[in-house]
Amino acid sequence: MTKRQIPGYSYGTAEVPKSHVSMQEAAESQTSAGFTEEDHRFLRLAGEVLADQTKQIVEHWRAGIIAGIPHLAPHSRTPEGDPIPEYLAKSNLRFEQWILDTCLRPDDQDWIDYQQEIALRHTSAKKNQVDGVQSTAFVPLRDLIAFVAIMNQTIRPYLAAKGNSAEEAEGMHRAWSKSIQLQLALWAGTYAGRNEW
């Protein structure tokens, strides 16, 4: 699945700690999100459709949107506000791979574990560590949650870019949106702890 070696990408390896979320809790969250077999099929289709567009999509999000939002741009810069091109390049590669993982990875223990790892890498527990950089201490949970709305809006044309029918494009978008929402539900627990999570 990963065609190149991605710096800091440790999906499915022994480096990734076991999630505090159980398979049962993850399955219940899937039910709460209305995830169906059809959604799984549409996600796999989305993975095929997006496969050669991930670089462009992440560029769109990072350079096209995040870089222009004053309270989001600092998260890939130094505390003084200077760019860290190498950090951005590496995390862009992981961001690209995340799009494919969202679409193509089975929702097994590795998947749950890596959801926790992704969340941790946005909190002060692990942000900046894998790349050995100095930047903001964490990305606020509220911005993660809110930015999903932008990702869901802007992914739409990429899902329609390969000539699939309008129904298929909508089905892929629905499945994509559900998967992200499910991931957010898991990430929130890593940020907030298990109290009333």
Separation of alpha carbons 85 and 76, rounded Å: 9
Based on C-alpha coordinates, what's the Rg of the chain?
16
The first and second tokens of residue 31, run together, are 């039910």
Separation of alpha carbons 23 and 20, rounded Å: 10
Q: Which of 140, 161, 164, 168 binds its own copies (CB under 8 A)?
A: 140
Query: Residue 192 interacts with its own copies (CB under 8 A)?
Result: yes
Per CB under 8 A, which region of 12-20, 23-31, 73-81, 107-115 contacts its own copies?
23-31
Of 37, 39, 48, 41, whose CA–CA distance to 174 is shortest? Answer: 39
Binding mask 39-68 for its own copies (x = CB under 8 A): --------------------------x---
Q: What single-letter DSSP state applies at residue 160?
A: T
Query: Residue 3 interacts with its own copies (CB under 8 A)?
Result: no
Of 136, 148, 134, 9, whose CA–CA distance to 65 is shortest? Answer: 148
Q: Which of 1, 15, 22, 34 binds its own copies (CB under 8 A)?
A: 34
Residues lying near its own copies in the complex (CB under 8 A)? 25, 28-35, 65, 69, 71-72, 123-124, 138, 140-143, 145-150, 152-153, 174, 177-178, 181-182, 184-186, 188-189, 191-193, 196-197
